Structure 1
Amino acid sequence: MTFPEVGDNIDIFVLSSRLHKSPLASIFLAEDLFSRQHVVLKIPDSNILNHPLLLYHYQNEDRISRLLDHPGVIRFIHRQKSRQYIIMEHVEGEDLRSRIGKNRILDLREALILMKQLARVVSYLHRQGIVHLDLKPENIICCNNSSIKVIDFGLASCRHLPDLLELDLQNPLGTPWYISPEQLLGERSDPRCDIYTMGMLLYEMLTGRLPWPRTSKKRVARRRLHYDPTPPRYHNDKIPPQIQSIILCAIARHAADRYKDVMDLLHDLNHWQQLPVTEAGSRNKSSSLWRRIFPGKPIRLQRRQPQKTTITYDKPQIIGALIDSPGSDNMLAEVKKEALIRSAEITLVHVIEEEDDSHFRRYGIAVEGEKLMGRLEQAVQLLRRCSIDPSIRLVRGEVVDVLRKLCTDLGAELLVLAESRKKQGMLGTVSVRRHLENNSPCPIVVADNVVFSPATGLAAQQPAQLTAGQVLACDIFLVDLWYEHLHYHTDFIYRRLLNPQQDVDLSENNCLFGRFLAFFEKKDEWLQVTSALVPIHSRFHRLASRMSELCDHDPEGLQDLYTREFLPLSCRLKHELSRVSLFLRTHLDSPPPQVPFLTDNTCPVSKPDLACYGPLLKALNLDQDLCSLVQEKRKRVSGCRSGEGK
């Protein structure tokens, strides 16, 4: 897996320039080939075994971004993607860091305007149950229209989502010289952490300095657990005492002494001139020698509550492990099958066993990490094809201990293993499975090679000969078939719109559905299946030819066909596939339960949302993009008519 460079294409984007490179990701300005608008792509590095935070940062931001909708938060764009990256709107402006820092301060009026805007944004986040936890100047964009945009939610916590950063990563997260004392101790859910950082930002805006050294050394950073900060008036005595009181309240060492809510902070910022002048607000000296020798009571977090590490999930949980095993493809097929049967969520686990920190070994791990990143991306894409979004966890430790603990913590219904990475036998190491089975908190399955493939093998069977396992395999294939056909048609429309000169083969045997049906020609025993599916498949391709003709010149007609005929036809196909599933099990005395996707009367394309993935997300994108094309054409027509009128 090669890291993209300027000039490369990623899906429908062309990388125009590199805006920034950080230890976690590279930021590119890119052109959207469909809308011809500029966007920003954030592409994570792939050294995930040396630095698991890279993967967690991306995964966390991708999920939290789907909950955000506020003018003060950067707009995230969600599209089907072939690899991991974040898509954001491009705004003209500069980050707050370019305005403040050593020997660079803002006047009070400008600082208050920025802080009031930030307080409104942070208040919105807290109402959504989100704590940002990294509100540094680099993550606040000052737009050319005088508004602000908050970016980078990779370290944020959300009460609606499991906090995998807290569960799996041991070190404190955040920029050390901005984060609150309790954040240094691992606190990630308290909104007052953001209030502390906002106070630090106002401190820096008005003094050009921070009360704590800019260092990543834990020993230095932990001084704030024991010492109170130097008053900002020590660095700039022009700061009004009331403003200093606001800052000192926001950055109080103990969270209980800070503002209880961001709106309380905003109230004081709006009415600071009416606040009383206090001794603390007037102070312009650093702490006394006595206080430096004998600091106050150190910060200590209360004992963690059980729910901090044990999470109650709404859906059944399935764990897939040994991703780096040669049999990982079988494991992925098995977890997908079980997730579809149980309507379950999937966690894919890679256990990092190597602890050697030598330079040579770290380089080797980096190479292994790139390969693992490629395998993980393939796994994610495979599962997202059926709108399943797996959680990825990279956990250090011994394989058996890690898997046993995860099964317990998640309350997993099933642990699916690929073939062991270690040889078994008289002289071989005892397998992971045998170790786990001695004291397993949930059932364990070792994924085997797939023997029966409905795509090619179903037509060779007699309906009455199918076993329960084969019928279940057919159900999974029918789900795949529906999503694959949705992808086939949305993909060809995009290709025609982006490359009008490109020929697209729309013949009926050029898709998985068509090739599947071709196996049943002249098979009378399968007439009940073909009579239901062949007509609807033929109608799909006639419709595709009509839509293809409209791609060049009539976006409005294309949108009408897509929404009025294609999407309802997709729902009809889902219904017919459900009937096929019922037919396949009529001869069984003890048929397996049907996959919920095939029994649910609700069609996914009728109510897609931002939480969808894969072909379903692409169908949602296409619907939105066609609307944009129609609006753009209407604007052009309206502009031409206005010009003619003049």
Structure 2
Amino acid sequence: MKLLEPGTVIDGFEVGDCLHAGGMAHIYQVAYAGAAQRGPFPMVMKVPRMTEGDGAENIVGFEVERQILSVLTGPHVPRLVAAGDLTQLPYLVMEQVSGRTLQQWLDDNRAPLPAEEIARLGAAVAQAAHSLHLQDVCHLDLKPANVLIRPDGLAVLLDFGLSCHAHYPDLLAEELRPAVGSPTWMAPEQVVGMRGDPRSDIFAIGVMLYELATRELPFGNPQTSGGLRQRLWMDPVPPRKWRPELPEWLQEVILRCLEPEAARRYASAAHLAFDLSHPQQVQVTDRGRRIRATGFWAHLKRWVRAAGMHYQPSALPSRQIDEVPIIMVAVPNRDVSDATLYSLRGAVSRALGTVPGARLACVSVIDPSETPGHDSASSETTVHRRYLGMLRQWAEPLDLSGQTVSFHILENGDVAQALLRYAQGNQVSMIVMGAATHGLQMQRLLATVPIRVAMAAPCTVVLVKQALPFDQLAATDRGYAQDHLADRPARVSKVMI
């Protein structure tokens, strides 16, 4: 198909300049024809290539993108305006989002980016992917050219021609070859034809993080099926071998995204965004410390294991996210009873017991007036360490073996606002807090914190009423022991202790 001439009118849209001529489609600037109607935002028209040499995936991809864009919502995808008829001229008119793609970031910055900048960009992409997964969509073609960073730092994902929606037929899997995607960024399970796992997008984000950090590609740019299959068992060279100054936490995050087995990657894109937003909370293992590539014999063992591996279809992306939520507990740090702290622990323990894959974030809010300047005898660092110690002490009775847990001190004079911002910014699925916390005396008159959080939170809120005071519990236990265990004094003394 030849390029459309500027000034051509199609279904009420006037075509402007060609902005991009890619291998699968052409992108044009468009506007409503005539001056009578002006669009609410700038628009582009995407027209798939349909010449004899173009593959069938161009048309199938067009159908997939039209189907998926029509149901996606949120700030991380362009808004769909109109779609053309496949029998006449297939096209998609959508919002033109301002910003730069990650590919432009790579092209404009020849030197590797600082770790903080890589983490900021990666967290934005992970949050965008999480938004898709909540809507039961896997992108499956994430790469620098398909990720646009807006001026405000938000990531917008482009090009859904290879994507998969769990509630619609997967046309690509039905009509085309088993492995569909861009070879450089394709996850191992995609190589063997398995589509629809949200952790495939996490793998692609890991490839982008690796390139941003090292300017190298973890698996090169394979052009054969044999080259593609190597990622089923091979580890990439550790990023710190290319850049020794990279922090261990960043390598830990990148290599965890690139694990050959999906179960060993981050459980959700929200968990990945959490670690990139809180690098000081990343638990560094040998994965983050090593600087040598995996040896031949280790790769040989993995090759043997990969040869007999069977990939299972994934559950709905949103269901997988429900199984690995981020749970936030708001722990008060002043004017709080032991009964309230005890009750909060019980509620958190029950929540973690029902969702073993959950991540726990323990949060406490302090007033900025409690952290004087660094030249003061009580520095900000000292104050934060003291409150972090209190948080860890509160969490000690919890059984957190095998659980991912982190501790956070927030500074804000408005406790409710601080908790809401944290929950929204970190994709929290559940907030656990006291029904009357952060000032028990004042809560009798102004129950502002629990009510404001419960009304405005973007997720489930569990308000916990405090249990009976410990002295009443002890009295009850003593009465029970005297009435029913008088004939076994030795055992009674053990219970009381």
Bin of the TM-score, shorter chain as denominator length: 0.5 to 0.7
Counterpart of 1:67? Answer: 71
Give the SS at the match of 1:165: helix
Please say which of residues 49-58 and 75-84 is displaced more in the overlay.
75-84
Task: Select 2:279's aligned residue among 269, 272, 283.
Answer: 272
Asked whether 1:187 is paired with 2:191, we answer no
Distance 1:69 1:30, change over 3 A: same
Distance 1:270 1:143, change over 3 A: closer
Give the SS at the match of 1:149: strand
Distance 1:106 1:302, change over 3 A: same
Deviation, 1:293, is 5.6
Give the SS at the match of 1:62: helix
Preserved CA contact (<8 Å) 1:43 1:85: yes
Counterpart of 2:404? Answer: none
Task: State the Cα deviation string for residues 466-500 of structure 1 (Å, max 9, x = none).
Answer: xxxxxxxxxxxxxxxxxxxxxxxxxxxxxxxxxxx
Counterpart of 1:331? Answer: none
Task: Select 1:43's aligned residue among 43, 47, 72.
Answer: 47
Task: State the Cα deviation string for residues 235-270 of structure 1 (Å, max 9, x = none).
Answer: 112221111111111110111111111222222222
Asked whether 1:162 is paired with 2:166, we answer no
Preserved CA contact (<8 Å) 1:48 1:55: no
Preserved CA contact (<8 Å) 1:250 1:259: yes
Distance 1:300 1:41, change over 3 A: farther
Task: State the Cα deviation string for residues 388-424 of structure 1 (Å, max 9, x = none).
Answer: xxxxxxxxxxxxxxxxxxxxxxxxxxxxxxxxxxxxx
Preserved CA contact (<8 Å) 2:77 2:157: yes
Q: Which amino acid counterpart does residue 89 of structure 1 have in structure 2?
A: E
| Distance in 2 between residues matched to 1:95 and 1:159, nearest whole Å | 27
Preserved CA contact (<8 Å) 1:32 1:38: no
Asked whether 1:100 is paired with 2:103, we answer no
Counterpart of 2:96? Answer: 90
Deviation, 1:307, is 12
Q: Which amino acid counterpart does residue 83 of structure 1 have in structure 2?
A: L
Preserved CA contact (<8 Å) 1:233 1:239: yes
Task: State the Cα deviation string for residues 520-573 of structure 1 (Å, max 9, x = none).
Answer: xxxxxxxxxxxxxxxxxxxxxxxxxxxxxxxxxxxxxxxxxxxxxxxxxxxxxx
Counterpart of 2:147? Answer: 140
Asked whether 1:11 is paired with 2:11, we answer yes
Deviation, 1:294, is 5.4
| Distance in 2 between residues matched to 1:306 and 1:107, nearest whole Å | 35
Task: State the Cα deviation string for residues 55-81 of structure 1 (Å, max 9, x = none).
Answer: 100000000001111112122213566
Q: Which amino acid counterpart does residue 10 of structure 1 have in structure 2?
A: I
Distance 1:126 1:265, change over 3 A: same
| Distance in 1 between residues matched to 2:93 and 2:308, nearest whole Å | 39
Larger Rg: 1
Distance 1:304 1:245, change over 3 A: closer
Counterpart of 2:135? Answer: 128
Give the SS at the match of 1:123: helix
| Distance in 2 between residues matched to 1:305 and 1:278, nearest whole Å | 30
The residue correspondences of 1:566-577 to structure 2 (distance < 5 A) are none
Distance 1:10 1:213, change over 3 A: same
Q: Which amino acid counterpart does residue 93 of structure 1 have in structure 2?
A: G
Asked whether 1:57 is paired with 2:61, we answer yes
Q: Which amino acid counterpart does residue 109 of structure 1 have in structure 2?
A: E
Q: Which amino acid counterpart does residue 100 of structure 2 have in structure 1?
A: E
Preserved CA contact (<8 Å) 1:78 1:87: yes
Deviation, 1:48, is 6.8
Structure with greater helix percent: 1
| Distance in 2 between residues matched to 1:203 and 1:47, nearest whole Å | 36
The number of aligned residues is 308
The residue correspondences of 1:211-360 to structure 2 (distance < 5 A) are 211-291=218-298, 295-296=302-303, 297-298=305-306, 302=310
Preserved CA contact (<8 Å) 1:111 1:205: yes
| Distance in 2 between residues matched to 1:248 and 1:79, nearest whole Å | 40
Preserved CA contact (<8 Å) 1:173 1:183: yes
The residue correspondences of 1:325-474 to structure 2 (distance < 5 A) are none
Task: State the Cα deviation string for residues 52-108 of structure 1 (Å, max 9, x = none).
Answer: 101100000000001111112122213566621111111222211011269442222
Give the SS at the match of 1:78: strand
| Distance in 2 between residues matched to 1:28 and 1:76, nearest whole Å | 15
Counterpart of 1:551? Answer: none
Preserved CA contact (<8 Å) 2:235 2:293: no
Distance 1:137 1:28, change over 3 A: same
Give the SS at the match of 1:115: helix
Deviation, 1:171, is 3.9
Q: Which amino acid counterpart does residue 281 of structure 1 have in structure 2?
A: G
| Distance in 2 between residues matched to 1:80 and 1:56, nearest whole Å | 14
Asked whether 1:149 is paired with 2:153, we answer no
Deviation, 1:276, is 3.3
Deviation, 1:35, is 1.2
Q: Which runs of 5+ in 1 are unaligned?
A: 309-646
Q: Which amino acid counterpart does residue 119 of structure 1 have in structure 2?
A: A
Preserved CA contact (<8 Å) 1:180 1:197: yes
Q: Which amino acid counterpart does residue 42 of structure 2 have in structure 1?
A: H
Preserved CA contact (<8 Å) 1:185 1:301: no
Task: State the Cα deviation string for residues 99-158 of structure 1 (Å, max 9, x = none).
Answer: 126944222222212222222211111111100001100001122333321111110001
Deviation, 1:14, is 2.0
Q: Percent identity?
A: 31
Deviation, 1:300, is 5.6
The residue correspondences of 1:520-531 to structure 2 (distance < 5 A) are none
Distance 1:249 1:17, change over 3 A: same
Task: State the Cα deviation string for residues 166-203 of structure 1 (Å, max 9, x = none).
Answer: 01112411110111111111111111101111111111
| Distance in 2 between residues matched to 1:138 and 1:17, nearest whole Å | 20
- TM superposition score normalised by structure 2: 0.58
Distance 1:49 1:242, change over 3 A: same
